[in-house]
Amino acid sequence: MGRGDRAARTAGWEREARGWAGAALRGLEFVAYPALAGAAFCLLALGVVTWLPALAAVASALHRWRRDGDTRCFTGVLTAFPGYWRALWRHALVAALVPPAVLAAIVFLAGRPEPVSIPLLAVQVGGLAAFAVYHLALAVVAGTDPDARPAWRARALVFAFGSPRRGLVLLVALLLAPVIGLPLVLGPLLFGPSLPVLCGLALLERGTPPR
């Protein structure tokens, strides 16, 4: 083997190594940046009624990361939050009260022996699922288009329920995200909010609902 052949092979190995290293780094980005956004969400959601604006801020930061390569996901969530709080605080107050009330009704109905409690229980569970899917859709829509505030709710309804398959995918993402994060100590907290948002962003990019 000549010196030129060895140099060419060495250069090929180096290019391949750089390719693998770049792929590994890109893979780590898809773990690190959603985790950072999820950490910012957990910090902001300590206020309980702040969870919906915080989720919209997560959508905003992750949207900028996906679209523009902006890697400031943690600070991006914190920066975007005040604007979403001003826009959504009334809705957030009501939204913070609904899940505890529905969960209390589910616990009550689950312990009742009457036959009528079964369809009522199904209604409560379905309502909670629809609530979760709609508010995920609302956060995604608001995060991708902060200037279209009057149209957020209508667009979120179309996005969440305009396609049964899309709504089912959003629901599955909400249910599976904490499970996927289980191998990490804080995985469910970090990825529970961010992975469903990423799923919603990907679905929105595939077919943006009409404005």
Q: Residues for the chain: how many in total?
A: 211
Q: What is the mean pLDDT of residues 91-99?
A: 93
What is the pTM (predicted TM-score) of this model?
A: 0.85
Share of the chain above pLDDT 90, in %: 69
- How high is the pLDDT of residue 110? 84
What value does the CA radius of gyration of the chain take, rounded to a whole number of Å? 21
Classified as helix, coil or strand, 41 is helix
- Rounded to an integer, what distance in angstroms lies between the CA atom of residue 113 and that of residue 88? 40
- How high is the pLDDT of residue 140? 97
Burial status of residue 211 (CB atoms within 10 A of its CB: 0-12, 13-18, 19 or more): exposed
Decide if 200 is inside a domain: yes
Q: How many domains does the chain have?
A: 1
Binned at pLDDT 50, 70 and 90, residue 193 comes out as very high
pLDDT at 13 over 90: no
Decide if 144 is inside a domain: yes
Binned at pLDDT 50, 70 and 90, residue 5 comes out as low
- Rounded to an integer, what distance in angstroms lies between the CA atom of residue 170 and that of residue 176? 10
The per-residue pLDDT for range 114-166, each reduced to its tens digit, is: 888 888 989 999 999 999 999 999 999 999 999 999 999 999 999 999 999 99
- Rounded to an integer, what distance in angstroms lies between the CA atom of residue 160 and that of residue 179? 22
- How high is the pLDDT of residue 9? 54
Decide if 117 is inside a domain: yes
**Least confident window among 54-58, 101-105, 138-142, 204-208:** 204-208
pLDDT at 36 over 90: yes
Decide if 140 is inside a domain: yes
Decide if 95 is inside a domain: yes
Strands (E), 101-197: none
More reliable by pLDDT, 109 or 173: 173
CB half-sphere exposure, 90, CA atoms < 13 A: 1
pLDDT at 178 over 70: yes
Decide if 60 is inside a domain: yes
Q: What is the mean pLDDT of residues 14-41?
A: 73
Decide if 211 is inside a domain: no
The per-residue pLDDT for range 103-117, each reduced to its tens digit, is: 999 888 888 888 888
Domain that holds residue 126: 3-206
Decide if 33 is inside a domain: yes
Q: What is the mean pLDDT of residues 71-95?
A: 95
- Rounded to an integer, what distance in angstroms lies between the CA atom of residue 33 and that of residue 42? 14
